[in-house]
Homo-oligomer: A and B are copies of this chain.
């Protein structure tokens, strides 16, 4: 994409009401724009990042057999009454129509997925299976703050698994754990993310969270020095020693939850009477698990974990583009044309090799402004074409996370493996 065509632009300053580094950099870079407290629109570059995160998560959910569906945001009140969460889930947005009919706006989807799959589950032969969706969720967070880290409207992947027995759930639960760590690895934050034993909230007694270390986080976790399992502060008093390895030494850290998984067992199959007929002809309740990752929060968390004073360092699979091609300007018309011709050609040639390229072809920006924007946008590789580099038939290549650059000939750079 040509940067001169991009309607969104970078900003020198972030709004004063944004306190987290990620929110400040995401707004300054023109990735997102605040619409209201806890409500952000995705601009072209931000949507590319979010879509890349979606692709990673969908691939990993597909890999463990998840079947992708799309449930609804408008959810009839009666289902929420059946589980008691119409009154107990305080973050539920509610809509009352003029005729008195009410909807909840989807904050989570147990209340929809259970009656939905009930239409197709009859026998043990229909089990196990899992379904997932990537959808906008709505939660009336009083403390909406920190940019993308705590939102009222956000994109979330929620997967639900259905089993004939707890042994089946246990097997799938471990698979899901592995899949989650694959997501964090591809998203560039695995080294900072810890499996954390936590309370189960309105879903179950206990859960496992995936907590990413960051000072912008609102959670406190205690990491077992022996086995690296973490325990959320909310239940730490119940666990003087690590439940995994009995270790008694912990490190206290600030962190943010970037995923959580719950063994629901029969908590939500029971109110809807989601049953199946087992091999022995007996009717039994279906055993369930639920597995969530907030995509928008993950985007904020990545920006939080991977930035320096000048901007974001997007990991390769998440970055809005692979290459940031920058053509510098020249006051000499012949030089200007020469640079343009070489950069235009590079733009096409790099794209032909399958790379996604943002081409800074703006004619009204200085080299300094272009480099600053480059650091802010945080695309993994920067290629600069200038009068100076063309004197050696070359372009200058620099990785965003490196301090050194190298001159590479124009011929070689299009054959380079990025």
Contacts and interface: CB of A to CB of B under 8 A. Distances in A.
A355 interface: no
A28 B110 CA distance: 24
Interface in A70-105: 70-76, 93-95, 97, 103, 105
Contact of A35 (B43, B112, B117, B138): B112
A8 B126 CA distance: 10
Interface string A35-49: 110011111100100
Contact of A71 (B41, B65, B95, B116): B41
Contacts of A41: 69-72, 112, 116
Contact of A43 (B50, B69, B74, B112): B69
A136 interface: yes
Contacts of A35: 71-72, 74-76, 112, 116
A67 interface: yes
A120 interface: yes
A138 B136 CA distance: 13
A119 B50 CA distance: 22
Nearest to A135: B136
B136 A73 contact: yes
- Among A44, A74, A112, A119, the most chain B Cβ lie within 10 Å of the Cβ of A74
Contacts of A103: 36
Contacts of A9: 120
- Among A7, A67, A71, the most chain B Cβ lie within 10 Å of the Cβ of A7
Interface string A1-19: 0000111110000000000
A140 interface: yes
Nearest to A130: B7
A131 interface: yes
A225 interface: no
A39 B126 contact: no
Contacts of A117: 7
A207 to B, nearest CB: 24
A331 B1 CA distance: 59
A239 interface: no
Contact of A47 (B70, B73, B112, B136): B70
Nearest to A125: B364
Contact of A153 (B74, B97, B119): B74
Contact of A39 (B72, B93, B152): B72
A365 interface: no
A219 B50 CA distance: 39
9 contacts: A35-B74, A36-B74, A36-B76, A44-B67, A73-B73, A73-B138, A73-B153, A74-B153, A94-B95
Interface of A: 5-9, 30, 33, 35-36, 39-44, 47, 50, 65, 67-76, 93-95, 97, 103, 105, 112, 116-117, 119-121, 126, 129, 131, 136, 138, 140, 152-153
